[in-house]
Homo-oligomer: A and B are copies of this chain.
Amino acid sequence: MVYSEEVLVMETAVDDMNSEFFPYLVDRLLEAGALDAYLQPIIMKKGRPGTMLTVLAREDRQDVLLKIIYSETSTLGVRLRTERRICLHRDFLTAQTDYGAVRVKLALEEPGEQPLRYAPEFEDCRARAQEHSVPVQSVYRAAMLAVEDSLKNSK
C-alpha cells in the first residue's frame, strides 16, 4: 500500500533580489534537510517579475530552513501550511549496461512487489555518458532495457 506522511510547505514571494542567489539558496535548503524546493515565475504588484519559492520539509526542519530563507533572501515573511503527502514506496536496483552500472529507482505500491514504474538515476547516466562520450539518452535507454530484462526474468 502507498503510505502517507505530514509535510510542511513553506512559501514566500520575492521581487527585490538578485536572481543569481536562488540556485545557491535551493542548494542550501536541500543540504539542510528540505525534501524538495522549487521556484515559480510570478508577476508581483506594479508588474514586477518575481519568484515564488516553495520548500517542502518535515516539521522538525522548520527553524533551520526559515533561518536560511531569512539569511539568503530579501523576504520579510514566509507562509507555512501542513499538507498530507501520499507516497509510493521506493527501492533501487543496479542495472548493468554496456556503459557501466546505473542505479535505477523503482516506484512500488507495495514493498517487495513488482514495481509500478522505474527510472534510471540521472546523475549516474550523466557520469556513464561522460566516461564513454555518448549521449545521456543512450545510457538512459540502455538502463531502461536492462531493467526491463531483469524484471522479466525475475517474474
Chain A contact residues, CB within 8 Å of chain B: 2, 7, 9, 13, 15-24, 26-27, 30, 36-52, 56, 66, 70-72, 74, 76-81, 83-88, 90, 105, 107, 109, 116-117, 119, 122, 126, 135-137, 140-141, 144-145, 148
Q: A49 and B51: CB pair below 8 A?
A: yes
**B44 contacts A49, C-beta separation under 8 Å:** no
The docked-state distance in angstroms from the alpha carbon of A103 to that of B152 is 24
Chain B residues with CB under 8 Å of A50's CB are: 19, 38
* Residue contact B49 to A43, C-beta cutoff 8 Å: yes
Q: Are the C-beta atoms of A135 and B84 separated by less than 8 Å?
A: no
24 contacts between A and B (CB under 8 A): A2-B66, A7-B79, A9-B79, A18-B140, A19-B49, A19-B51, A21-B122, A24-B122, A24-B126, A26-B45, A36-B45, A37-B45, A38-B50, A40-B41, A40-B42, A49-B51, A70-B109, A70-B116, A72-B135, A76-B90, A76-B105, A77-B86, A77-B87, A78-B87
**Please, which residue of chain B has its CB at the minimum distance from the CB of A11?**
B83
Contact of A40 among B37, B40, B45 (CB under 8 A): B40
